[in-house]
Structure 1
Amino acid sequence: MSNRLLRFTSRMQRRCFSVDESVKKSTKKDFEYCVDLVQNRDREGYLCGLLMPHDARRSYFAIRAFNVELASIKDARKSEGGEFDAASLALKIRVQWWQDALNQVFGDIDEQVAAGGISLDMATSCWNNPVVRLLNDAVHESNLTKRFLERLLEARAADLDVKQLATLAEAIDYSENTFSSLLYLSLESAGVRDDAADTVAYNAGIGIGLVTALRSARFRLVRGECAIPQELIAKGFPYHKFNLEDPKAEMTEGDVQMLQDAVFEMSQKASLHFSEARENQSVVPKHARPCLLPVVPAFHHLSKLEKVKYNIFDDTLLEQDQLTGLLLLGRTWLTGVF
C-alpha cells in the first residue's frame, strides 16, 4: 500500500474521543521528559532533533521517545549465560500496552469501552505516561499517520524472539519498517507528505538501518545474537561463543575473512541506498531536510568501517569523535545536503 493511501486511510479512521480531553493534554514537563529520554538513549537522534525546525520539534521528540520506548522492550530481556530466551510474558504485555496506547491516541478503543470490553480505568491508564500524552499531541498537531507508528511497533514486537535474520532482504524490510518509518513521520512533523520525499526517506532509512545493525554487531555477538543475516554467514559460524575481551578467540582465519566479507556486503547495500537518497534529496523541501540528518552519523560510520577494512572488532570504531560528528551535522544542516 502506498504511503499516500496509508495517510488517507489514517485520516478516515480517526474517531472522536470519549476520554476527558484534559487527561490527555501534554505539559511542558512531558516534552522535557521526552527530550531527556531521547538524549539519554538515542544521542544522535537527540542532536538531530535540536536542528529540526522549531515548529516540528515537539512532534519529532514525541516520535523519537516512542521509538526509544519500543526499542527498550527487547533491551530489557533477561538472559543467563548468554543464552537467548523466549520473549517473556512481561515483554509481550509491554508490547500490547503500547498497542493499546496507540489505539487510544487514534480513538480506536472507544468502541471497546462503550461495549464493556475493557474498563474505562484500563482505557485511560495510558494517559499517565508522558510519552503517550506528547505523542497524542503530535498525532493531532502534525497529522501523523497511524500505520507508520504501527510498523514501528510491529517490527519491534516481531524482533523480540529473533537472534539472527535469515536474509539480507529481511534486514532491509526491518530497516524500512523501523528507520524509514521514523523518517516518514519526521517529514510529516515538518508538514511534508509527498511521494518523492518519501522515496528519499525510504532509501535513507534502509541505509541507516543496515548501518545500525553493523554498529551493534560486535555487542550483539556477546549476547548470542548475530546482526549479520544467515545467508551471508556460513552455517556453524561461532557467533554464540564471543566475548568482548578476546572476540576472535573462537574464530579461524576463514571465519574472520567471512565476517569481513559479510560486513562489506551489508555496507555496500547501505551505500547503494544512501546514494539513491543523495541523488534525489533535492526533492525534499529545504525546510524539511533536517529530517534526514540521521543519515549523517550513519554515513560517517560507513567511512570508518571502510578505513578499518570492515573489521567490526577494530577498537577505533568505538572512539567517540563527537567534534567530527557535530561538524558533519552542522555542515549538513547549513547546506541542506548530506
Structure 2
Amino acid sequence: MADAPLSPIAAFARAHDPDRFLTALFMPAAVREAFFALIAFNHELARAREAATNPVAALIRLQWWRDAVTEATAGKPPRRHEVAAPLHAAIVSGALAADDLTGLIDAREPEAEEEGIPTREAFGAYLRAGAGGFAVVAGRLAGAPPEALPLLQRLGALHGLSGVLRSVPAHAAQGRCLLPRDALAEAGLSAEGVVADPGSAQGLVAALAEEGGTMLDKAMTEALPRAALPAALPAVLARRDLRRIARGMPVPRPRGLGDRLAVTWAAFRARL
C-alpha cells in the first residue's frame, strides 16, 4: 500500500526544516499536524531577519506573526498564508498555546538588533528562549510532564547552538553574525570581520562547538520521560554536528544515512 501523501504543511516542514521533520515522525499521530505547523511557524520566524532588508523590517515581520497569533486566540478568521492558516487551526484546537508562540516570536528579536548579541550570557539566553523554547513547546505538544521541560529546554538550546555554528557562513552572506561579541573580542575578532571572512571565526566556532558538545553529552545522560523523547530527538543530530564542527568537518546537507539512523535508533530504544 502506498504511503499517504503529505499534507501541505507537512510538505512545507520537510522542505524547510528536514531535521525537525525527521523527528516529527516520532510525535504522537494525533498532534503531528500541529507539530508540522509549529515547525513551519518557527521557520517563518527565522526568515524574518533573513528576508528583511533592515532590522526594522524584520521587527515588522515578527509583529505580523504576533498579530496572527492574537487574532487566532480572539476567534478571528485565519490570515491568507500557507503557514498562518494551519497555525491558526492548531491554536483554535488547543494544540498550541498563544503564550508559547508569542514567546518564540519574542525570542527572535535579538536577531534584529543591529549591534548583534553582546555577551555570552545574552547568547545563552537567546538560545534558551529560541531553540530551547521550541523544544519546550514541542514537549508540551507531545505530552511531556512539566518536570521534563527544563531538560528539554537545555537540549533544545544546544541544538540551537549547533545550528548557529554551522550557519556562520550563511549568516555572513546575509551580512550578519550571531556569535557573541565578547567571545569574538576575546578571539581577536569582530562581527564585521566575520561577515567579511567567515573562515576567520573557525577557531572560535570549533571552541564553542567543543564546549557545547561537552554540555550536551552531560545533559543527554539525564533521565528523560518517554513522552518527552520526540521533542528531545534533535539533540541526537546536534551532538553529531557539534563533534563535526569541533573537528572542522562539514555538516552534511542533506543528511546522510548515519544521521537518520542515529535518530531512528534513539527513538526505537527510547533513550538519547
Partner in structure 1 of residue 164 of structure 2: 213
State whether residues 173 and 195 of structure 2, in contact with CA within 8 Å, keep that contact through their aligned partners in structure 1: yes
Structure with the greater alpha carbon radius of gyration:
1
Identify the residue that residue 116 of structure 1 maps to in structure 2.
Answer: none
TM-score by length of 2: 0.85
Conservation of the 8 A alpha-carbon contact between 2:111 and 2:178: no
Corresponding residue to 1:87 among 40, 50, 56: 56
State how far apart, in whole Å, the 2-side matches of 1:136 and 1:319 are: 31
Q: Which residue of 2 aligns with 1:240?
A: 195
SS in 1 for 2:130: helix
- Name the aligned partner's letter for residue 179 of structure 2: I
Map of 1:279 onto structure 2: 221
Q: Tell me by how many angstroms 1:173 deviates.
A: 0.9
Give the paired residue count: 265
Give the fraction of aligned pairs with identical amino acids, expressed as a percent.
22
Q: What per-residue deviation string (whole Å, max 9, x for no partner) do you get for residues 236-274 of structure 1?
A: 6422322xxxx65xxxxxxx5xx3442244224422442
1:101 partnered with 2:76:
no
Indicate yes or no: 2:20 matched with 1:45.
Answer: yes
Instruction: Assess, with a 3 A threshold, how the Cα gap between structure 1 residues 134 and 164 changes in structure 2: closer, same or farther.
Output: same
Confirm or deny that 1:222 pairs with 2:173.
yes
How do residues 52-91 of structure 1 correspond to structure 2 at under 5 angstroms? 52-78=27-53, 85-88=54-57, 91=58
**What does residue 12 of structure 1 align with?**
none
1:152 match? 104
The answer for the alignment partner of 1:34 in structure 2 is 9
Deviation sequence 1:75-104 (CA, Å, 0-9, x none): 2123xxxxxx4433xx44332221111112
Residue among 250, 253, 266 paired with 2:208: 266
- Distance 1:162-1:131 versus aligned 2 partners, 3 A rule: same
2:220 is paired with a residue of what secondary structure?
Answer: helix
CA separation of 1:325 and 1:160: change in aligned 2, threshold 3 A? same
Whichever residue aligns with residue 334 of structure 1, its letter is F
Unaligned runs of 5+ in 1: 1-28, 79-84, 111-122, 249-255, 309-313
Q: CA RMSD in A?
A: 2.7
How many angstroms apart in 1 are the aligned matches of 2:217 and 2:24? Answer: 23
Unpaired stretches in structure 2, ≥5 consecutive residues: none
2:224 is aligned with what amino acid?
V
